[in-house]
Amino acid sequence: MGLWLIVYLIEHLIVNSQAALWIGDDGSGFVRLVNLLESLPYLQVIEILFIGIPLAVHGVWGVKRALAAKLNSSPTDGKTPAMTFRRNRAFSWQRWTSWILLFGIAAHVVQMRFIHYPRDVLLNGKKQFLNVVSFDDGLYTLASRIGVQLYGPQEIMQFKAEQWGNLEGSARYDAGDEKVFEARQQNAEYKNWVSRMAAFDLKENEVIVAAPSPGKAMLFMVRDTFKNPWMGAAYTIFVLAAAFHAFNGFWTALITWGAILSYRSQKAMLPVGWLGIAFLSFLGIAAIWGSYWINLRN
């Protein structure tokens, strides 16, 4: 399960880094990849089978291992062993990072998959994806370039106050009249669109992003998250912990399964592990500090 999660982590960070790595492209690579993933059939089933279940199994097993572990890499008073060798330290860091990841993944999933995940609604027969972001000076410029609409509290109040024709009360209604049927449908979609936007409890400095695709809506979600330096710092710790945990676990799995038994082969695989840690760390930190502060600020 852990090895499969490494594959998923690499894919996840590659997608997220596309919001930052290609400066000047307004996150087009991120939008394209997210739209591709969101278009997969039975996406929720895929997420449960190939992400949710492996995370749950690995997490439960990891907590069991972490609670049973006896760490001995730190200096002691002499009553217990103090083995400050490199692999003992790595063993301790693997257990410490497991706790960081346990709470970090839970918070990340709740934030990105439930609280701030874009809500879709039909308008004029096309889907719009809505989420809430905080206002900043570069927001409208970026929105204009990318092709999304922004709505503030006053605009939503205006939409609610407008009087739209109610065709359902028409005295004469012919079910075969295509224009009447289309008008009724558009009227119902518009009312639902306004009610969905009004359901957001906007603060004074917040606006609603209405995007034509999930990728564009999520790009603004990522940008809004990482423009907060405290969130950036928390996610940096989270990513570094995930990178070390993934590839130190990969190296350990090779020993456990008998792939590298000799001292020479184990030593030769260490640089591979460190390169993996560096690669994941680079992708994650690029996404965290490059999405807003470098590529998408204005």
pLDDT tens for the chain, 298 residues: list them.
999 999 999 999 999 999 999 888 999 999 999 999 999 999 999 999 999 999 999 999 999 998 998 888 887 777 777 888 888 899 999 999 999 999 999 999 999 999 999 999 988 888 999 999 999 989 999 999 999 999 988 888 887 776 454 444 444 555 556 677 777 777 888 888 888 888 888 888 999 999 999 999 999 999 999 999 999 999 999 999 999 999 999 999 999 999 999 999 999 999 999 999 999 999 999 999 999 999 999 8
Give a yes or no: residue 218 inside a domain: no
Residue labelled with tokens 């950036």? 232
User: Do 41 and 107 fall within a single domain?
Assistant: yes
234 within a domain of the structure (yes/no): yes
Phi, psi (degrees; rounded to nearest 5) at 22: -95, 90
One domain for residues 107 and 255: yes
Is residue 172 assigned to a domain? Answer: yes
pLDDT at 167: 45
Whether 190 maps to a domain, the answer reads: yes
Residue 19 sits in the same domain as residue 97 = yes
Same domain, 171 and 185: yes
Q: Which two tokens stand for residue 94?
A: 């693997």
SS3 213: coil
**What pLDDT score was predicted for residue 164?**
52
Based on the fold, state whether residues 52 and 111 are members of the same structural domain: yes
Domain boundary among 189, 213, 237: 213
In 3D, which of 119, 127, 118 has the Cα closest to residue 189?
127
- pLDDT score for 174: 57
pLDDT at position 169: 47
Nearest CA to 58 out of 260, 246, 257 is that of 246
Are 88 and 234 in a shared domain? yes
Pick from 186, 213, 240: which residue ends a domain?
213
Beta bridge mates, 298: none
pTM of the model: 0.89
Cross-strand partners of 131? 209
What does the block give as tokens for 270? 């260490």
Q: Which of 180, 213, 246 is the last residue before a domain boundary?
A: 213
Helix axes 53-68, 2-17, angle to 10 degrees: 120
- For 150, the enclosing helix (H) or strand (E) is strand 149-151
What is the extent of the structural domain holding 269? 2-116+225-295
**In a shared domain, residues 22 and 103:** yes
From 56, 93, 97, select the one nearest 73 (Cα to Cα): 93
One domain for residues 99 and 136:
no
Clarify whether residues 87 and 136 are in a common domain: no
Tally of domains within the chain: 2
Beta-ladder partners of 120: 129
- In a shared domain, residues 229 and 109: yes
What local confidence, expressed as pLDDT, does residue 7 receive? 96
101/200 same-domain check: no
127 and 86 within one domain: no
Residue located via tokens 């907060």: 228
